[in-house]
Amino acid sequence: MGLPLAVTARIGGYTVKRQLSGKKYPLVLMLEPLFRCNLACKGCGKIDYPGEILNQRLSVQQCMDAIDECGAPAVSIAGGEPLLHREMPEIVQGYLAKKKFVILCTNALLLKKKIDDYRPHPFFTWSIHLDGDKAMHDKAVSQDGVYEVAIEAIELAKSKGFRVQVNCTVFDGADSDRLAAFFDEMERRDVEITISPGYAYERAPDQEHFLNRERTKQFFRDVFAKGAGAKRWHFTNSPLFLDFLAGNQQYQCTPWSMPLRNIFGWQRPCYLLNEGYAKTFAELMEETDWDAYGVGKYEKCADCMVHCGFEGTAAADAIKHPLKLAKLAMRGVRTEGAFAPDFALAGARPAVETYTSHVERELARIRAEKPNAKRHVVAAE
Ligand code: SF4
Ligand code: SF4
């Protein structure tokens, strides 16, 4: 387990160099090459776009341009379901040829059918969507039997020599004992975990299933306490991010560290919020009013503790304070005592409605370019 040395050296070297430059920099390109999916999870805010938008795909060239523009050393490919994209093997191969670390996220339903389109590579990882044990996961994805498919996919990919991790989103109502037992199960299977609390972004249709800030911190303390301060398990998250989840670090987000490119363009300001789109990465970086976003600055950010907003902050902190990181790695995450102070939420500027405008603009563009495009139906891939 753990990243191969060549990957760690490459990403570590890049991060230190960019941190020393003092400028904002991306760590991981978040790529959504399509929104279409073969599941319909109740917490998903992607799959309810109009059919014409669900039928759109980023081309191989657009995917390559995205990494060239931003220069991040790693790319996480999500969606929608990336395995529905016919050119996904070519996209992965293109990134590997550029020596990028590729995380291909999937709900695993198509993995058995598509796995031979891919080859194990030190810079390539399958990331299987798994939100806990059978009952937790099947409930999260609103379909019975998906847990078993994901477990089979993990075993299959490992047997073929692939590196495999799971991405696990935690929703309100999760049971800390069961989540700890799930982590034990992943440990037994020698699988690393990427953990993140869900975020009640404006388009998620099921708002009450997301954790708020205070409950998130206490919940993760409860879970980590059952695993020796999280030391018993292997996470892909940085230890300082786990410490932040447990309420021991006061971090503001660094949304540019995991920028999102999808069919609308470069999403402003982050993976979680749709506040408009930039045509290029340079435009995103230069023209986004970054100070207008973050916890305590904007109403929509109030409950956000999501990894794609705060992992970059934790990585920067680790470079600035290596001793703090070393102590944490030795002692584990603190699960008792006072929480670190957090940002006051009272002065945050009010939320602005932005969804309709970019969807309407994209529909107008598609209809102008392809007046005969199918509006609702798309062929199975
Ligand atoms: S698998 Fe992912 S993209 Fe598909 S419906 Fe579920 S959350 Fe949405
Ligand atoms: S806190 Fe940061 S990462 Fe989270 S939604 Fe707001 S801008 Fe995005």
Task: Tell me 343's DSSP state.
Answer: -
Q: Which atom of ligand 1 is nearest to the CA of 43?
A: 7
How many other CB atoms are found less than 10 A from the CB of residue 336?
A: 7
Ligand 2: residue whose CA is nearest its atom 8: 270
| C-alpha 345 – ligand 1 centre gap (Å) | 30
How far apart CA 199 and CA 196 sit, in angstroms, is 9
- Ligand 2 center–CA 295 separation, angstroms: 7
Q: Whose CA is nearest to atom 3 of ligand 1?
A: 80
Which residues are CB-contacts of 36 (< 8 A; sequence separation ≥ 6)?
A: 47, 54, 55, 79, 80, 81, 84, 378
pLDDT at residue number 217: 95
Identify the pLDDT of residue 42.
79
pLDDT of residue 380: 41
Q: In this predicted model, what pLDDT tens digit does every residue of 213-234 receive, in sequence order?
A: 888 999 999 999 999 999 999 9
CA distance linking residue 339 with residue 62, whole number of Å = 44
Question: How far does the centroid of ligand 2 lie from the alpha carbon of residue 1, in Å?
Answer: 30
Q: Where are the domains of the chain?
A: 5-289+303-337
Task: Give the C-alpha separation, 271 to 29, whole Å.
Answer: 10
Residue 172 half-sphere exposure, CB side, CA atoms within 13 Å?
14
- Number of helices (H) and strands (E) in the chain: give both, helices first: 14, 9
According to the model, what pLDDT value does residue 1 have? 62
Q: Which ligand is nearest to the CA of 167?
A: 1
| CA 127 / ligand 1 centre spacing (Å) | 13
Q: In this structure, which ligand is nearest to the CA of 295?
A: 2
What pTM was computed for the model?
0.93
The pLDDT, as a whole number, for residue 208 is: 54
- Residue 226 has a pLDDT of 98
CATH of 5-289+303-337, one of 1.20.1050.10, 3.90.79.10, 2.30.30.40, 3.20.20.70: 3.20.20.70
Structure tokens at 254: 């660094």
Distance between Cα 292 and ligand 2 center (Å):
10
Residues of the chain with pLDDT under 70: 1, 200-211, 355-356, 373-381
d(CA 342, ligand 1 centre) in Å: 31
**For a substitution probing ligand 1, which of 30, 35, 38, 41 has the most ligand atoms within 8 Å of its CB?**
41
Tens digits of residue pLDDT in 252-311: 999 999 999 999 999 999 998 989 999 999 999 999 999 999 999 999 999 999 999 999
Which pLDDT does position 95 carry in this prediction? Answer: 98
pLDDT at 45: 79
Which residues have a Cβ under 8 Å from the Cβ of 22 and sit 6 or more positions away?
A: none
| Closest ligand, as measured to the CA of 32 | 1
The confidence score (pLDDT) of residue 356 equals 62
Ligand 2 site, CB within 6 A: 253, 255, 269-270, 272-273, 293-295, 301, 304, 306, 309
Residue owning the nearest CA to atom 2 of ligand 1? 80
Distance 17 CA to ligand 1 centre (A): 35
Query: What's the pLDDT score for residue 29?
Result: 98
Among all bound ligands, the one having the nearest atom to the CA of 297 is 2
pLDDT value of position 352: 86
Tokens of 363: 């529909």
